[in-house]
Amino acid sequence: MKLEWKTCFRIGVSLFLLYLSITYWSTVMNVVSIAIGAAAPLIVGCVVAYLLNILMCLYEKHYFPGNNTSKVICCTRRPICMIAAMVSLIAIVVLVIRLVLPQFISCIRLLVSEIPTAVEALINNKFIMNLLPKNLEATLSSIDWQNLFSKILTYVTSGLGDVMGFTVSAVSTVFSSIVTALLSIIFAIYLLLSKEKLCSQTLRVVNNYVKPKWCKKISYVLSVCNDCFRSYIVGQCMEAVILGSLCVVGMLILRLPYATMIGALIGLTALIPVAGAYIGAGVGAIMILTVSPFQAIVFLIFIVVLQQLEGNLIYPRVVGSSVGLPGLWVLAAVTIGGGLSGVFGMLIGVPITAVIYRILREDVKKRENANAVEIKEEILSAESEKEENVLEENTEETHA
């Protein structure tokens, strides 16, 4: 094989860049983090646009469907469906907040108001008072309270500078987050309004600068990724609705308070795979605790049973069937993803595993079909050779 100077140059440059990356790894990672931070609004905007696009496509299918070529409908379909998708998501979040937040705040206030009564009951409890040392009053009187308060005051005043610095940092972080969110939403709107044009331009660039073989492979992988992630998001939302509905029905049967509110909260937090329902269960237990500690215990037992049913039966079937992934691999993806990257790993573990599973499955089928064709061709060639040999022997016998 003859090596050209271009190939040698590319190999040399690649090795040199690899050496620089390994030697100056910390510097490279700092540069990468700065680049990601600068592009954060664009990255978040792409994620928001992808999520909104699912709802927007659903609305576009029902917005005067058919072969309607009216100019007004064609011009208004995309903006109206995009606004409807954004309003739908905002309405769902606002509805859940309106259902949960006021009652949760009132429950916290009720718990705080009950603290003095609980402390007084503990003080009047003879059993608890007998556990305390008899010389407790003498011990408390021997403490130099003036010196202690002066030390606390000195510590607090010395930390005011740090508090001011923390306050300034917090305000700047909040302001930066607001600006990032606004830029992300604006970028997402631009992406949704011109997604066909952007896809066409990207396809033209790839076709002109990438070899056709690689272009076909890249297009196939991106198509599989889009299909798996889209199906996963839809399946996850369906699973959250099912879990929230089952929670409401179960709480109504058990006659537990705040059934609708807690069901909505658990349905929202169930978007986080496996562990999300437990987060909602903690908040729900605090709310029920203000009514009855016994009912709070019953609720926790009910949620544990429901979560086991959901995690081992409903989730693998609903989400696994939507992404074409067996239930065993769904559980494995959630477990491994959570162990590697926590909640974020749980969220993306299933679709990434589904992408790998589908690509490997189709590649294995392709190789098996190719092997079967080769075996069939070998069998046919062997039979044809055998027939030719038989014909030659018959011809020789005839001449003899």
pLDDT of residue 263: 83
Backbone angles phi, psi at 55, to 5 degrees: -70, -40
pLDDT of residue 255: 87
Distances (CA, A) of 263 to 63, 243, 245, 257, 266: 32, 8, 7, 11, 5
Largest distance between two CA atoms of the chain: 133
pLDDT of residue 400: 55
Q: Is the pTM of this model over 0.75?
A: no
Q: Are 110 and 291 in contact (CB under 8 A)?
A: no
pLDDT of residue 86: 87
pLDDT per position as a tens digit, 99-139: 777 776 777 776 666 666 665 665 565 555 565 555 655 55
Q: Cβ–Cβ contacts within 10 Å for residue 271, how many?
A: 14
pLDDT of residue 315: 67
Residues of the chain under the 70 pLDDT cut:
1-5, 65-69, 104, 110-172, 272-277, 311, 315-324, 327, 343, 387-400
pLDDT per position as a tens digit, 345-397: 777 887 888 888 888 888 888 887 877 777 777 777 777 777 666 666 666 66
Q: Cβ–Cβ contacts within 10 Å for residue 221, how many?
A: 12
What amino acid is encoded at 114 in this protein? E
Mind giving me the DSSP string for 335-392? HHHHHHHHHHHHHHHHHHHHHHHHHHHHHHHHHHHHHHHHHHHHHHHHHHHHHHHHHH
pLDDT of residue 334: 75
**Domains of the chain, residue spans:** 217-387
pLDDT per position as a tens digit, 245-255: 888 888 888 88
CA distance 248 to 235: 20
